[in-house]
Structure 1
């Protein structure tokens, strides 16, 4: 039995690129059979914005002296960490908003980081020997040579936590120019946007099939 944890952070009820590409990835992995998927939806059902600060400060209070709010925040952080820790493969669907990490996703990371298993000072990295897929969608273009090169303040941070702090083997699947279809000023980029999206789905299928093969073996 293999377990997949999937985190979705898009605020779009419909038409989310990160959800669509993650669906392709998840379905390819699940084709191996004997796979359980645990999902956490934080884009449409956000975590409490004050939970991280409460959980973080609760760490300095003896367990038997914590108040109700602290106990609830710590319990939530533990629940989130349990979901991630119990999975062999993690899918993090991370849309790109305002040049950075969405607040919903940042709250999730901050809460998980309060758990001892995932804290920067943990004796062992919780993701060591495990695989994480980072599915990213950006509305514009941020590669070298573009006007907004260097404005992506999300991707490197996400990889830093997943790889360096938690120890996962990270594969990034990304699509850019996702707003081209709906933005008149980007009309000349529609064909490239469609190719980028098709390439992202193809990469998701390829990587998912590879993981499925390992699971089946």
Structure 2
């Protein structure tokens, strides 16, 4: 009987100790939260990384693997990181970098990397719209069809697909009228896009100097 009471007391004591530890951890976490990177910090870091990407003409795959110029230690980026980069670019209306990073996120998912928060449907939703914004209507249609295959009940995909298909048909009709079908397309690869011209012409000179091309 004494043993039972003693065991019960030990359970209560252990439980109290556990609650005390958890409470202490939460209190410490709350205290330390002010030192965590803010959303502004994350956005600034992402923009800096994109500038580095442009300056050294780095492919997102290279950056994701952590192979950066002048670095000694390798730190790779996850699907969540690449998706986050794409979202930051998207909210800045920077569709060029949005496509690059969403493509990298999709590639990692296709290769089998798993994520709790990022899905193929979510990536395709951003990617299909942004390639359309860059004028690649044909690929926008393909990506939206893939999105609908994964999520037939997606809120916007059905409407977007009908609109994209209508615009694609219009584009093809105009090509026939203008007899431009025999000309070489400006972008022969569907997943490669050109960075928009910068409004600061000296930036290209600066980037070339950074690459040692001066």
Q: TM-score, normalised by structure 1?
A: 0.27
Asked which structure has the greater CA Rg, the reply is 2
Which is helix-richer, 1 or 2?
Answer: 2
Which is strand-richer, 1 or 2?
Answer: 1
Q: TM-score, normalised by structure 2?
A: 0.27
Structure with larger RCO (C-alpha < 8 A, sep 6+): 1
